[in-house]
Amino acid sequence: MIRVVFVCTGNICRSPMAEAVLRHEWKRRKKDGLYVSSMGIHGLDNQEASKYAQEICNEHGIDLSEHRSRKLIIPELEEADLILSMEKVQKEFIHLFFPRFSDKNFLLGAWPGKATKKSNIKDPIGGSEKFYRQTFDIIEGHIKRIIPAIEEMYCR
């Protein structure tokens, strides 16, 4: 079983979308053996995903209505095979406070390669619906890009 954790700031926009998109794409490809979750470094416990995140995911056949935000859960990070953050600040937060996870802590926008200035996925919170759509498209593109790497590295 591969365990992937997505991390953002509040766990109400980007990381829930990434979690849901990966789960959706994995099922669509008729795969099993995946546990995926999401958390926030400054998570607001038990909050719904943002309105636009829910609406845009719903348009893509992905249901975020059951999502509730969570702060970092250390035992779950310990069990993870891969921790994928949305921005450098979250990756660095995990590295600073939990250096033992550094070998599995990466940016979604960079993994499995090297990070660049374009590797950060900006937070759409408070932004327009258009910005949320762009963020969803970026996340979905990265999820589709990394699935072959996940299969190759973790599903043997």
* Contact (Cβ atoms closer than 8 angstroms) between residue 85 and residue 42: no
Tally of residues, the chain: 156
- In angstroms, the CA 7 to CA 41 distance is 7
* 8 tagged catalytic: yes
Which one from 13, 14, 57, 70 is the annotated catalytic residue? 14
Active site residue 100: no
List the catalytic residue out of 8, 13, 57, 70. 8
Give the torsion sign (CA, 94, 109, 47, 75).
negative
Task: Give the C-alpha separation, 47 to 24, whole Å.
Answer: 22
Of the listed 3, 13, 57, 123, which one is catalytic? 123
Strand order in the sheet with 2-8: 34-40, 2-8, 82-85, 105-107
- Does residue 57 have an active-site annotation? no
Catalytic sites, residue numbers:
8, 14, 123
